[in-house]
Amino acid sequence: MAKYILKRISLFIPTLILISLIIFFVIQLPPGDYVDSLISARSAEGEIFTPEEIAHWREYYGLDDSWYIQYGKWMKGIITKGDFGYSFIYGKPVWSVISRTVGMTVILTLIITVFQYAVSIPIAIYSSTHQYSVGDYFFSFIGFFGQAVPNFLIAILLMYWSFKATGSANLGLYSTEMLQNGIHLYNLGEFLKRLIIPIIVIGTASTCGIIRTVRAQMLDEQSKQYILAARSKGVSENVIIYKYCLRAALNPVVSGIGGMLSHLFSGSTVTAMVLNLQILGPELLKALKAQDMYLAGTIVMVQAFLVVVGTLLSDIALAWLDPRIRYTKGRD
Amino acid sequence: MAFIKKKANKNESYYMASQWTLMGRKLKKHKLAKLSLLILGILYLGVIFSGFIAPYGLEDYDKLYQNTAPTKIRFYHEGEFIGPFVYSLEKYNNPETFRVEITEDTSEYYKLKFFTKGVKYKILGLFESDIHLFGTDVGSNGSTSGKVMLFGSDQLGRDIFSRILYGSQISLTIPFASAAISFVLGITIGSISGYFGGVIDNIIQRIIEVLGSIPSIPLWMAMSAAIPAGLSTVKMYLLITIILSLINWCGIARVVRGKFMSLKNEDYVMAARIAGVNDAVIILRHLVPGFLSYLIVSITLSIPSSIIGETSMSFLGLGIRSPATSWGVLLDETKNIANFSQYPWKMIPLFFVILAVLAFNFLGDGLRDAADPYK
C-alpha cells in the first residue's frame, strides 16, 4: 500500500510539469501578444505610439523572448520564489489578483462535490432497489432532462423564479455589504442563501451522471452469484445492499473524482458568467481574451493542480477500497 | 411436418444471425430508442433540406418584424372563410401612451401557399433552387410585405424558424464530425497502446492522463482564441470540430486499450500470429470487430455532450460567429432575463437542443442494451 502511494506521488510532479508546458504552449498559440492588444485598444482612443515605445514595452513585459524561454522564467519564478508572474490587465502580481477567487472556487467546488454525492447516491440506491417503479422513472426522467438542458438556462430559470418569489435575483456571491465588510457570522446566512442557486445549477449537471452510473452498477452487482449466495444464506437485505453492492458500485464513482472535478471547472464557467459568480472561470476567459498569459496560465494551472490532487486522492481511496488494485499496481 | 421445419428454420436463423442482426432485432424491441431514431431522422432531414423547408434565407431580415411573436395563422377574413392566411404588420402611434406600437394590418390578407419562390439556396451544396416548401402569396391588394414567422422573430427581425433549421446544419453535424475524428484517433492510439504494451503503452497512458487533467473548457477557450477572426465560416467550423475532438479521443483510447489487454491473449489471436498474419491485420480484422458495437454505443452517448459543448462555446462567443448560425448562437440571445420574460418564443431553439440531446441519449441507451449479449 505504502509503495503504491509513493509511486503515485512520484508521478505527481512530472505530470504537473508536463501539464504546465502544454498549457503555456496553448496559451501562446493565439497570434499577437498583450502589447498588441494594448496598443490596438489605446490607438482606438486616439493615442499614437512610436516603434521605440512599443519595443520598450515588449522588453518591459519580457515578451521578446521565445515562448520556451518565457516558460522557463515563469517556472523558475514559481519554483524558487512562489511568484506566479505579473498580470498585465490588473498591473499586479498574479497571485494577489486571484488569491481570493481561488479560495472561493475551492470552497464552492468542495460544497458542490459533497452536494452531488449526498443527493445522487441515495437516489441511485433507491432507483436500483425499486427498478421500474414510478420513483425510478421519475428520477431517470429528471436525470436525462438535467443532462439535456444547458446549465446556463437552468440558472436563468432559477434566477427568474427567485426574482418572482423573493423580489431579488440573488445575483453574485457577495452582497454590496459583504464586499465592504467581509464575511462574518452575522451575514453568513445571507451568503449561504446566495450559494443555493449556484450549487443547484452546477451540481445537478454531474449528479445525473453519477445517478445513472451507480444505478447501473448496483443492478449489475445484484444479479451476480455471490449476492444470490448471500441471499440464500439469509443475509439481511440491508447488509446485501449497503455492504456488498454499494461498495462495489462506488468503484467507478471514486475513480471518476478527477474527471468530475475537471468537469466541474468547465461546467461552472458558463454558469458563473450568467450568475456573476466571482470564481476562476470567468476570470480565465477575460485573461485569455486580453492575452494576459501569466494570469491565464496560472488559473489553468490551479485548476489542473486541483484535478491532479483529486485524481491522486481517488487513486489512493480506490486502492484502499479494492485490494486487487493495490496488489496489481504495486507490482508493476 | 411443415410446422417443424418452419420452427427449425427460425431457430437456425437465430443461431446463424450475425452479431449485427441480433443487435438490430433487440433494438427494434426498444420503443424509446425507435422513437428517438425517428425523431433524429426528422431532424437530419431538416439538416439536409433546410434551405427548402425554411421560408427565408440565412441573412434575411425585416425591420418591421423585430421581436415579434409567432405569426398567427387565420382562416376567416371579415367573417368569410378563405383558407389559411396571415396579416402583415404596421406601425401605429398610440394616442394614449405616445408610443409607436406594432399591430396587425387587417386591411390586406396574404394567403399561405406551398412551393413559393424565394431566396436561392443549395441542397448539400449541389442542387440549386429557389422554391421553398411554404410561404406567403402576394397580398389581396398586390403588396408583398406579408411574412409568416412560425416561431416569431429575433431582435434584428430574422425568422427564428428558418434560423433553427440553418443552425441545425452546424449544431447537428459538428458532433458527428468530431465523433468521427475522435473515433479514428481513439482506436488507433488505444490499439497501439494496448497491443504493444510496455514503454509505448506507458508513454501513451501518461499523455492521456495529462490531457485528461486539463479542464476542457479552458483548453477549448485557449484554442478557439487561437482561431483568427477573419476565417471563413467553413474553416472556422472545421477548426472547432478538430478542437472538440482533440480532447474526446482520450476516453475512447482508454476503453480500446482495456479491451485489447483482455483480448490479445485469447487463443485465436495467438493462432493468427503463429499463422504469420501481420500486426495491422490482427488489430483490424480480429480484434477491433470484437468490441466495435461497444464503441458505437459510447460514441452515440458522447454526441449529446458535444452538442451541449458546442452551445456553451458559442454562448461564450468562442464558437460559431455571426452571420453563420448554430443553436448555441440562437441560445445566446436568451441569456438575459428580459428576453426570457418578454419574448418567451425565443426559447424555442432550446426545445430543439433538448429534443436532440434526449434522442441521442435514449438511442445510446437502447443500443447499449441491444449490444449487451447477456440481456
Each residue of B103-139: pLDDT tens digit? 777 777 888 878 888 778 877 777 888 888 888 877 7
Q: What is the DSSP string of A272-286?
A: HHHHT--SHHHHHHH
B103 and B232 fall within a common domain: no
Mean per-residue pLDDT, B204-215: 78
Does B161 reside within a domain? no
* Binary contact (B331, A150; C-beta < 8 A): yes
For chain B, positions 273-332, list CB contacts with chain A under 8 A. 304, 308, 311-312, 315-316, 331
Q: Are strands A92-93 and B74-77 parallel, antiparallel or unpaired?
A: unpaired
A244-263: b (≥16 Cβ within 10 Å) or e: bbbebbbbebbbbbbbbbbb
- Who contacts B36 (Cβ-Cβ below 8 Å, separation ≥6)? B358, B359, B360, B362, B363, B366
Examine the fold and report which residue of B150, B185, B219 is the final residue of a domain before the chain moves on: B150
Shortest Cα–Cα distance, A265 to chain B (Å): 6
B221 and B327 fall within a common domain: yes
Neighbour count for residue B131 (Cβ, 10 Å):
14
B142 and B276 fall within a common domain: no
Does B29 reside within a domain? no
B201 and B323 fall within a common domain: yes
Is the pLDDT higher at A127 or at B68?
Answer: A127
B118 and B219 fall within a common domain: no
> How far does CA A190 lie from the centroid of its chain?
24
Nearest-angstrom CA–CA distance, B87 and B71? 8
Beta pairing partners, A93: A86
Does B315 reside within a domain? yes
Mean per-residue pLDDT, B218-222: 69
Q: Are strands B127-136 and B99-123 parallel, antiparallel or unpaired?
A: antiparallel
CA atoms within 13 A on the CB side of A168: 8
B251 and B140 fall within a common domain: no
Shortest Cα–Cα distance, A47 to chain B (Å): 24
Please tell me which of the candidates A22, A29, A296 has its beta carbon nearest to residue B210.
Answer: A22
Does B46 reside within a domain? no
Range of the domain at B323: 172-371
A interface mutation test: which of B32, B213, B330 has the most A CBs within 10 A? B213
Nearest-angstrom CA–CA distance, B68 and B65? 6
* Domain segments of chain A as ranges: 94-326
B343 and B283 fall within a common domain: yes
CB-based burial label for A44 (10 Å; 0-12, 13-18, 19+) = exposed
Which residue type does B179 have?
Answer: A
Q: Is pLDDT at A104 greater than 80 in this prediction?
A: yes
B116 and B243 fall within a common domain: no
* Binary contact (A300, B215; C-beta < 8 A): yes
| Pair B354, A145: CB distance under 8 Å | yes
B91 and B227 fall within a common domain: no
Does B137 reside within a domain? yes
Which residue type does B366 have?
Answer: G
| Pair B190, B253: CB distance under 8 Å | yes
ipTM (interface pTM): 0.71
Mean per-residue pLDDT, B142-162: 80
B274 and B329 fall within a common domain: yes
| Pair A258, A314: CB distance under 8 Å | yes
Residue A259: all three cell numbers together: 474527471
Each residue of B159-183: pLDDT tens digit? 888 889 888 888 888 888 888 888 8
Superfamily of domain A94-326: MetI-like (1.10.3720.10)
Q: Are strands B99-123 and B80-94 parallel, antiparallel or unpaired?
A: antiparallel
Neighbour count for residue B239 (Cβ, 10 Å):
16
* Binary contact (B214, A144; C-beta < 8 A): no
* Binary contact (B337, A163; C-beta < 8 A): yes
Nearest-angstrom CA–CA distance, A124 and B190? 32
Q: Whole-angstrom distance between the N-terminal and C-terminal Cα of chain A? A: 13
A40 touches chain B (CB under 8 A): no
Neighbour count for residue B196 (Cβ, 10 Å):
14
Does B320 reside within a domain? yes
Average pLDDT score, chain B: 79
Residue A33: φ, ψ to 5°: -140, -170
Share of chain B above pLDDT 90, in %: 3
Confidence class for position A332, pLDDT limits 50, 70, 90: very low
B179 and B86 fall within a common domain: no
Each residue of A275-331: pLDDT tens digit? 888 888 888 888 877 778 888 888 888 888 888 888 888 878 877 777 766 665 544
Nearest-angstrom CA–CA distance, B280 and B309? 34
Please tell me which of the candidates A145, A163, A262 has its beta carbon nearest to residue B216.
Answer: A262
Q: What is the pLDDT of residue B60?
A: 78
Q: Considering its fold, how many domains does chain B have in total?
A: 2
Nearest-angstrom CA–CA distance, A18 and A144? 36
| Lowest-confidence region among A51-55, A127-131, B272-276 | A51-55
Mean per-residue pLDDT, B307-314: 78
Give me the residue label for grid cell 487463443.
B267
For chain A, positions 144-163, list CB contacts with chain B under 8 A. 144-145, 147-153, 156-157, 159-160, 163
B198 and B255 fall within a common domain: yes
| Pair A281, A102: CB distance under 8 Å | no
Q: Which domain CATH number covers B324? A: 1.10.3720.10
